[in-house]
Amino acid sequence: MDRHDIALIGFGGVNRALAQIILDRGDELAADLGFALRVVAITDLRLGSLMQADGIDLADVFAMRDGETFAGRPGGTAAPQNDYVIRNSTADIVVEATFTNPIDGEPGISHVRAALESGKSVTTTNKGPVALAGLELNRLAAANGLTFQYEGSVVSGTPILRFASETLQGLRIDAVEGILNGTSNYVLGKMESGMTLDVAVAEAQSLGYAEADPTADIEGSDVQLKVVILANELLGADITTADVTRRGISEVSAADIIDAAAQGKRYKLIGSAFRNAAGTVTAKVEPVALPLTHPLASVTGPTNAVSFDTDLLGTVTVSGPGAGRIETAYALLSDIIAIDAHQRARVEAGR
């Protein structure tokens, strides 16, 4: 039985959910996938750092008291020594799940770079490194014979990137458009039934869909990062957030929504990118009044969806959860499965 040793950078909801999956059903997964998973390092802003090459007792970590740190445990410190742990742990895969920084991508970019420089493949759910330095980090991974995977950076665990790159092989993707933010989609739905933007946002916050500061969701900058990832990954573009025109749902009024409904249409915040006649890629985020027959018009609430326009197959759409701790942890697991497959292919090719 093969095994991957993993380092968890950040121990918030998503990496905790991944650890819980490994603890609860590691044996079942190993039988299914042909490899075992062992956590050998954890770092976290509040917990500090823990490196144990023989495998960390996850049940023990889950039993930690509030305010307790890793200090005092073998291989443990109270300080979150992210860079040191990434470079020196015995892990072969680093799982980066720290917060998204939409401005400069840090510390995510440095984490990914440190991992790839020290011989470790990386999976991340962090949009920052992928949107702001994806091409550079992919080149670094390739140069070092490693794999950089980030399925969870776009639509949580719903496998959009892998669907496009693997399942749609042989097709040319000409355009991609999607509902890429569950909070704004939920809020638009509520506005359709007569709520004001502010009340709908407050409701989304109380349900845990929206952040305390909902600006990134409502004004479209979260979607903007995701459109950069989709355009660069699926359309071979090399764009940055500055290249993505952005308008948020605050520009849609209750009157707009009523007018649209009267015409059989429904507003959705659409992130899109398409290859234009000049061969470059046009990308934008904007509220669009879609006809009800459009494949994205009926995607409601926190569900996300992405439609791909292809040459031979026309339009194909994938929809599924766009958030959730366990769902996003599955994105990490699916990335680890892909990293394993790539490593095996490399070993076979090198024989």
Residue ranges of the annotated binding site for L-homoserine are 211
Told to check if 279 binds a copy of itself by CB under 8 A, we report no
CB 320 within 8 A of CB 155: yes
Told to check if 209 binds a copy of itself by CB under 8 A, we report no
273: tokens are 């990118």
CB 74 within 8 A of CB 41: no
d(CA 197, CA 65): 40
Told to check if 206 binds a copy of itself by CB under 8 A, we report no
Told to check if 312 binds a copy of itself by CB under 8 A, we report yes
- Measured distance between the N- and C-terminal CA atoms of the chain, rounded to whole angstroms: 20
Q: Is 265 one of the catalytic residues? A: no
Q: Give the residue ranges of the annotated binding site.
A: 127, 211
Told to check if 7 binds a copy of itself by CB under 8 A, we report no
3: tokens are 């095994």
* Pick from 79, 132, 80: nearest CA to 101: 132
d(CA 223, CA 283): 11
Told to check if 306 binds a copy of itself by CB under 8 A, we report no
DSSP codes of every residue in 52-82: -TT---HHHHHTPPTT--STTSTTEESS--H
Assess whether the previous peptide bond of 107 is cis (omega < 30° from 0).
yes
Which of 319, 323, 339, 343: binder of a copy of itself (CB under 8 A)? Answer: 319
Which residue of the set 120, 190, 226, 265 is catalytic? Answer: 226
Compare residues 3 and 46 and give the one whose CB is closer to a copy of itself: 3
Question: For a copy of itself, how many residues bind (rule: CB under 8 A)?
Answer: 45
- Minimum distance from residue 350 beta carbon to a copy of itself (Å): 10
Compare residues 116 and 329 and give the one whose CB is closer to a copy of itself: 329
* Residue 274 buriedness (CB in 10 A; 0-12 / 13-18 / 19+): middle
Compare residues 283 and 333 and give the one whose CB is closer to a copy of itself: 333
337: tokens are 């499965």
Compare residues 13 and 324 and give the one whose CB is closer to a copy of itself: 324
- Minimum distance from residue 312 beta carbon to a copy of itself (Å): 4
Name residue, tokens 């443990």. 76
Q: Give the residue ranges of the annotated binding site for NADPH.
A: 127
Active site residues per annotation: 226
Q: List residues near a copy of itself by CB under 8 A.
A: 21, 29, 32-33, 157-159, 162-163, 166-171, 292-293, 295, 297-298, 300-301, 303, 312-321, 324, 326-327, 329-330, 333-334, 337, 345, 348-349, 351
